[in-house]
Chains A and B, each alone.
Chain A
Amino acid sequence: MTTLRQTLAWTASAFLLAASISGAAAQQSVLRIGLAEDPDVLDPTRARTYVGRIVFASICDKLFDIDDKLAIVPQLALSHETSADGKTVTIKLRPGVKFHDGEAMDAEAVKFSLERHMTMQGSFRRPELSAIDKVEVVDPLTVRLLLKQPFSPLLSQLTDRAGMMVSPKAARELGERFGSAPVCAGPYRFVERVQQDRIVVERFADYWNKDQVTIGRIEYRPITDATVRLANLRSGQLDLIERALATDIPQIRANAQLRMAAGVDLGYQGVTLNIAKSDAGKQGFGRDPRIIQAFSLAIDRQALNQVVFNGAAMPGNQWINPQNPYYQSRFPVPQRDVAKARQLMQAAGVTGPLSIDFMVPNNPEVRQIAEVLQAMTAEVGFDLKIRVTEFATSLQEAEQGRYQAYMLNWSGRTDPDGNLFSFHGCRQPLNYSGYCNPAADALLAEARTKTDPAERKAIYEKLTEILINEGGIVYLYHRPVVIVHSARLEGFRAFPDGLVRVVGLKFRGN
């Protein structure tokens, strides 16, 4: 029995040892952020994930940024000017800005970075900057962008990865491996990354706005499970988490140690309808636009929000949320109207239940929504056959038109064009519905040429009128962006893009 006793003693001491470490004594100068996923490559030119943008927010400053009202504000730039014909954009740069390797962030560096985005093999920024014909250096602190045609969404592109400037020296040295040690001009410099475990950055002493940066280090830790992420925050192992579950909001509010910043995301959740992508479309929603209208009217968006999100989401009927300056209030979120929906179905010649192949990505939240939709639309004559499909597979099915309705989320862009053009434009890459209307196409193109927001909004109003009746997407709601942090952390502000801006953050008592 000696061995048994030894084993027991060993196990017990291992537990005690572990217990004594208790809660890994918190260091105030390290900010630990829990991410919902592991970011992809940390090279602004080749990055494509939303979560990657959260990390970039501390490493790579951009030419422009957005404020909490979605207005474009300068960051590495000081100002910009668009010529009357809309084909030249002149950008003045902030003086005295340095990259993390000490190189100057000047007009030459901007030219280099933009051209890298535009030409590098494997660049994901190329389509975003496709309107630029040439980048010219006017003087060390001025660059001029010559456009092929006027393109108003360009500035908003420069508030994201396309506007991130990289050190030319480091980019030349590292080439394709730049993402393994990114060198930008942000408030924090890259220190190390262990894939799927952590990304560590530390304060950059020569940052142009260094007075606003007080926290010494930031550790980003990817934790996929939202429940575990919140548990980490509650146990003090993290200081901030992004994308908490809406269903956890009551629990978060009840906890005095936690603070929550909830906003509405820039994108939308909607049902993409196959109209003309394949024959499957022609037998369903492609038969008659009145079927689309009936589908939309059958849905009680408020009830959906209550059932699935405890009311934390925002019901919607357009590609942007009702808080967005471009929202068309002439077309408010419709009330459910079963009688009218039934009439429309009849008028469209639908007799008996209309069977619809409804493809739904495999995610508990989305599945729940699909079931609610199934019940609601059944009352007006739809028979939704839910087909739960793993995400990567569903993309391919959608691409090939093997579906009739597809539950798809779009994370959203700051400019409305980013939520619209590729989805509704004829033969655009994200147009899974196969919808094509030359009149709508012309309006989409026209809106891109106008820089005056009022003028653009007027064009979008005409477009809304068309799309709301016959477009290939029935919009449902806008997801809540819930960021939760410890009460010790001060200065956090929520932004409409849901990113975590680290400038201005500090721990209480520091």
Chain B
Amino acid sequence: MFTLITKRLIQLIPTIFFVSVLIFLLQQLLPGDPALVMAGEEKDPEVIEQIRKRYRLDQPLPIQYLAWIGGVFRGDLGESMRLSEPVSTLVAQKLPVTVQLAVMAMIFTLGIGIPAGIISAVKKDTAWDYVVNVVALWGISTPNFWLGIMLIFLFSVQLGWLPASGYVSPFEDFRASMAATIMPAFVLGNSFAGVIMRHTRAAMLQVMESDYVRTARAKGLDERTVILKHGLRNALTPVITLGALEFGTLLSGAVLTEQIFSIPGFGKLIVDAVFNRDYAVVQGVVLVTATTYIVLNLLADIGYILANPRLRT
């Protein structure tokens, strides 16, 4: 088993290398000259030349790539052209914000989706089931930006309960942090909660019709124990898998939500960077996101191996 995990870890290196080349090349396909954008309104030709030189934009692609990847190995992700800040500083500043948002969204997603799915499955074909299904469908199909703006108008402008935008770190002021992130986290987790609910429902229905649940009932166990101990525990495995994979999606899906609520996270960073052709920032952020994703996947795989002895060959 140790060899298997080592093998998977070694496989990681070419994957990340491949991703880094891909990020670099894809970005070159973007039309729009970064030096032109950087030069701002005035566009003095001399200034444009200086920018090209300073950021090596005048050099051939392989050299630009080697300079970048060489820096990455030394822990240097380059410097933002627009903000004149090291990309690693920006990443270190923004990543925790988005992670907090994603974790909270995940709590919403599971906290709402799983119980609703159970209710819907247990009360199949009753009014409960229909209501939950309609709500789930609504959740899946409501666009984030629309829901975000509606919530801002309701909770910030009309009721004045929650701040309309901005971010406070939980280590600075926990209550303010929760107040600032509760709406965006809800918006971010909203559509995924619907997905989780439907998966939970489907899995529960399947499990509840299985032999061991019938056996458990036949043994005279009360319904609650049957549902929670025998049903849910088995139904949950595929749902959790989906959740783990989806966590990565939440991280990258925060782009729109962060934009609406002006949350200074990864999403906002990359949107601004793409529009300003701030190559170093785009490359750095995408590389960090991709690596996180790959590592999460690896951890999930290792988890499977540990959980399922049949995979340990």
For A179, the chain B residues whose CB sits under 8 A away are 84
In the complex, whether A248 has a CB less than 8 A from a CB of chain B is no
In Å, the complex CA distance between A128 and B277 comes to 25
Given contacts A121-B54, A392-B37, A393-B32, contact A194 B115 (CB under 8 A): no
In the complex, whether A7 has a CB less than 8 A from a CB of chain B is yes
Assess the B165–A232 pair: CB atoms within 8 A: yes
Assess the A235–B264 pair: CB atoms within 8 A: no
Assess the B162–A46 pair: CB atoms within 8 A: no
In Å, the complex CA distance between A1 and B167 comes to 35
Assess the B36–A126 pair: CB atoms within 8 A: no
Assess the B264–A195 pair: CB atoms within 8 A: yes
Chain A positions 26 through 50: 1 when the CB is less than 8 Å from some CB of chain B, otherwise 0: 0000000000001011010010110
In the complex, whether A146 has a CB less than 8 A from a CB of chain B is no
Assess the A126–B44 pair: CB atoms within 8 A: yes
Q: Which residue of B lies closest to A15 (CB)?
A: B182
Assess the A41–B275 pair: CB atoms within 8 A: no
Assess the B31–A396 pair: CB atoms within 8 A: yes
Tally of A-B Cβ pairs under 8 angstroms = 178
Binds A, one of B45-53, B56-64, B212-220, B238-246: B45-53
Among B147-175, those with CB < 8 Å from A are 149, 152-153, 156-157, 160-167, 175
In Å, the complex CA distance between A10 and B104 comes to 13
Assess the A228–B111 pair: CB atoms within 8 A: no
For B165, the chain A residues whose CB sits under 8 A away are 221, 223, 228, 232, 237
In the complex, whether B309 has a CB less than 8 A from a CB of chain A is no
CB distance from A105 to the nearest CB of B (A): 25
Assess the B275–A124 pair: CB atoms within 8 A: no
CB distance from A265 to the nearest CB of B (A): 13
Assess the B276–A392 pair: CB atoms within 8 A: yes
Chain A positions 390 through 420: 1 when the CB is less than 8 Å from some CB of chain B, otherwise 0: 1111011101000000000011000000000
Given contacts A126-B47, A395-B36, A429-B45, contact A231 B157 (CB under 8 A): yes
Assess the B161–A228 pair: CB atoms within 8 A: no
Given contacts A391-B275, A392-B32, A392-B275, contact A232 B178 (CB under 8 A): no
For B260, the chain A residues whose CB sits under 8 A away are 225, 228
Assess the A48–B41 pair: CB atoms within 8 A: yes
Given contacts A1-B224, A228-B149, A231-B153, contact A48 B42 (CB under 8 A): yes
Give the size of the chain B interface in residues (CB under 8 angstroms): 62
Give the size of the chain A interface in residues (CB under 8 angstroms): 65
Assess the B149–A197 pair: CB atoms within 8 A: no
Among A29-82, those with CB < 8 Å from B are 38, 40-41, 43, 46, 48-49
User: How would you classify the secondary structure of chain B's contact residues: helix, strand, loop or mixed?
Assistant: helix
CB < 8 Å neighbour of A396 from B36, B178, B261, B268:
B36
Among B103-158, those with CB < 8 Å from A are 111-112, 115, 118, 149, 152-153, 156-157
Q: Which residue of A lies closest to B50 (CB)?
A: A122
Chain B positions 161 through 205: 1 when the CB is less than 8 Å from some CB of chain A, otherwise 0: 111111100000001101100100000000000000000000000
In Å, the complex CA distance between A499 and B150 comes to 31
In the complex, whether A14 has a CB less than 8 A from a CB of chain B is yes
In Å, the complex CA distance between A43 and B162 comes to 35
Among A200-247, those with CB < 8 Å from B are 221-225, 227-228, 231-232, 234-237
Q: Which residue of A lies closest to B145 (CB)?
A: A225
CB < 8 Å neighbour of A14 from B31, B84, B182, B228:
B182
Assess the A399–B163 pair: CB atoms within 8 A: no
In Å, the complex CA distance between A19 and B155 comes to 9
CB distance from A409 to the nearest CB of B (A): 10
A-B contact pairs, 26 of them (CB 8 A): A7-B115, A14-B178, A14-B182, A17-B179, A21-B161, A21-B179, A38-B272, A40-B83, A122-B47, A126-B44, A126-B46, A127-B47, A196-B272, A197-B167, A197-B262, A221-B262, A224-B262, A225-B262, A232-B165, A235-B163, A237-B164, A237-B165, A392-B37, A392-B277, A395-B36, A422-B42
Q: Tell me the B residues contacting A by CB distance below 8 Å.
A: 30-34, 36-47, 50-51, 54, 82-85, 90, 93-94, 111-112, 115, 118, 149, 152-153, 156-157, 160-167, 175-176, 178-179, 182, 224, 228, 259-262, 264, 268-269, 272, 275-277
Task: List 13 additional A-B contacts (Cβ < 8 Å) besides A14-B182, A391-B275.
Answer: A14-B178, A41-B84, A49-B40, A127-B47, A195-B90, A196-B264, A223-B165, A225-B262, A390-B32, A390-B275, A392-B31, A392-B275, A392-B276
